[in-house]
Amino acid sequence: QRSLAAGRGCRTAQSVVPRREPPSFPPGAGSRLPCPAPAPPAWLEIPVGRNCCSSLLSEQTLSPFQCQFRCCLPLPQVFNDPIHGHIEIHPLLVRIIDTPQFQRLRYIKQLGGTYFVFPGASHNRFEHSLGVGYLAGCLVRALKERQPELDITQRDILCVEIAGLCHDLGHGPFSHMFDGRFIPLVRPNLKWKHESASVEMFEHLITSNKLEKVMEDYGLVLQEDMNFIKEQIGGPIDENTREKSWPYVGRPKEKSFLYEIVANKKNGIDVDKWDYFARDCHHLGIQNNFDYKRLLKFTRVCEVNSQKLICTRDKEVGNLYDMFHTRNCLHRRAYQHKVGNIIEIMITEALQKADPYFKIEGSKGTPYRISTAMEDMEAYTKLTDHVYLEILHSSCPELAEAREILRKIERRELYKFLGDTHPEKGKEIAKVMSPKNPPLVEPKAEDFIVDVINMDYGMEEQNPIDKVLFYCKADPTKAVRITKEQVSKLLPETFAEQVIRVYCKNQDPDTVSAAKQYFIQWCIRRDFTKPQDCDVVAPHLTPMKKSWNNIQEAECRTAAEPSCKQRLPFDE
């Protein structure tokens, strides 16, 4: 068996060599198939062929009904995943995987520009999506097994798995670089999120590959289940129902917990995170200290205000704090690495310069740009990280400027990092400033890049654990909340902070040195925190600010006479 990176695990082998050994499904795995039913469902009439398996299935793993029709059963496919090991994927999910819209995810790096800093981080959205589909199935099955009274059906399980598999279909080139940097830069008035593109791409995947019939053949109720899957990915479908007590149409209130598995809008604890923690850490070479398998064992559903919601055992609260701490560490060390970020800023700039000249053919032959491709899913299917190489290898004169930026990345002639600072509480910068309009207007505004990063526990200022429900051993049916004070005194006081990083495009050492002085002066004026190296790079400036030096006012030099030669332009 080959690993995922090299291609798919067992599939090729399965279709060529008949397996002799009994299958390794756990008991009950066969029950994923919609059965029993009075007559064989339509999917059993799929011509016997690539999945014929009459000699393979042991009688114990199949219901009598399945034994009767066993030679026609499409088997789950086994994939060898580096994170979760050998995982079984339902044949309907395999049909979804084997489409151009899903295969596109092979060509989108999970961590975008971070791969230019961490040489192992070359993994793509494709394998992450398989992992989330698998973990979604694990969680929903664990709940079904533990609490049969929840009435989780095979249809529910299949829909949750499909939602996990398809939740990231709408990502653009270099993942979060596209919706976090490129789109806000080139279409500042467009409110666009990759989640809504995932919903649209999922719909396009099903219709353009004519999978409606296949879905029905596997027991799904098309309209209802399509809605349910889309709602799990993008939230309520109808904007008008958002304010209602139950905003969803795919499943009733009694199954509210199903909406918390793939993308948990309440507290952010979901299988998407579980997969990317494990996978990103593996590829980054960073230790992962969060164990989702343990959490899986301590998850239950309790009824709260007539809704049934996912709850965690009270003693696991510390592990949940650790989970958010791990997330924050990953952001600091990898996702927001200062070099990775500047490379993403440079790629974004290159895509912006290439955008007017870049044609992607959509439906009915209509041409789209990089910035408009998401308006047509046929065009968007063709938009992946490949744009980088297309620009880099092009000889078209219109792309010369964009090409030169990418060549700079290849030669590692990166924009220079000047330093970072934190604004005081209440002085946060409202939004990321575009390189066209930085606050540092003189002497050469176009040399400066300001990158504003908002770091939090996923819920801005709020503590996500305040939104988590717990149950205790004494009465596992009752949901309770646990405050931070009940856990430890050594937990964060605040849950969000802003980091402002400033870079200089000009590589000339004198200009970089001057730019550093301006940056420090800017921090003094704005009352931001002291840049870490400023006592060394600007010892003549730092004494001006009392609070930076922990000394009495009288000892400070006056800030009215800065020692910088040029006029400092950093007015409020």
So which residues are the catalytic ones? 194
Instruction: Answer for the pair 97, 165: CB distance below 8 angstroms, yes or no.
Output: yes
Max distance between CA atoms of the chain, in angstroms, equals 93
Classify 329 as helix, strand or coil: helix
Q: Which two tokens stand for residue 287?
A: 């230790």
- Return the residue matching tokens 């870490």: 532
Min dist CB 284 to Zn ion, Å, is 16
Q: Which residues, other chains included, contact 359 with Cβ-Cβ below 8 Å and sequence gap of 6+? A: 367, 368, 369
Footprint on residues 69-98 left by Zn ion (CB under 5 A):
none
C-beta nearest to Zn ion: residue? 272
E strand or H helix that includes residue 184: helix 183-186
Specify the residue, 150 or 165, whose C-beta has the smaller distance to Zn ion.
Answer: 165
Per DSSP bridges, beta strands 367-368 and 85-89 are unpaired
Specify the residue, 61 or 175, whose C-beta has the smaller distance to Zn ion.
Answer: 175
Specify the residue, 225 or 272, whose C-beta has the smaller distance to Zn ion.
Answer: 272
Contact flag: residue 168 with Zn ion (CB under 5 A): yes
State how far the Cα of 42 lies from the Cα of 544, in Å rounded to an integer: 80
Specify the residue, 218 or 276, whose C-beta has the smaller distance to Zn ion.
Answer: 276
HSE-up of residue 449 (Cα within 13 Å, Cβ side): 20
Min dist CB 109 to Zn ion, Å, is 13
Min dist CB 164 to Zn ion, Å, is 9
x-marked contacts with Zn ion along 255-274 as a string, rule CB under 5 A:
-----------------x--
Specify the residue, 123 or 300, whose C-beta has the smaller distance to Zn ion.
Answer: 123
Q: Tell me which stretch binds Zn ion (CB under 5 A): 160-168, 286-294, 380-388, 413-421.
A: 160-168
HSE-up of residue 402 (Cα within 13 Å, Cβ side): 25
Instruction: Answer for the pair 353, 347: CB distance below 8 angstroms, yes or no.
Output: no
- Return the residue matching tokens 């870049």: 358
Specify the residue, 168 or 451, whose C-beta has the smaller distance to Zn ion.
Answer: 168
Contact flag: residue 349 with Zn ion (CB under 5 A): no
Min dist CB 375 to Zn ion, Å, is 23
Min dist CB 231 to Zn ion, Å, is 17
Min dist CB 128 to Zn ion, Å, is 6
Q: Tell me which stretch binds Zn ion (CB under 5 A): 94-102, 166-174, 368-376, 425-433.
A: 166-174
Contact flag: residue 179 with Zn ion (CB under 5 A): no
Position 17: which residue type?
Answer: V
State how far the Cα of 532 lies from the Cα of 233, in Å rounded to an integer: 41
Q: Tell me which stretch binds Zn ion (CB under 5 A): 161-169, 333-341, 363-371, 374-382.
A: 161-169
Q: Tell me which stretch binds Zn ion (CB under 5 A): 54-62, 164-172, 430-438, 459-467.
A: 164-172
Position 507: which residue type?
Answer: Q
Instruction: Answer for the pair 334, 118: CB distance below 8 angstroms, yes or no.
Output: yes
- Burial letters for 541-551: b for 16+ Cβ neighbours within 10 Å, e otherwise? bbbbbeebeee
Q: Tell me which stretch binds Zn ion (CB under 5 A): 73-81, 167-175, 236-244, 360-368.
A: 167-175
Residue ranges binding Zn ion (CB under 5 A): 168, 272
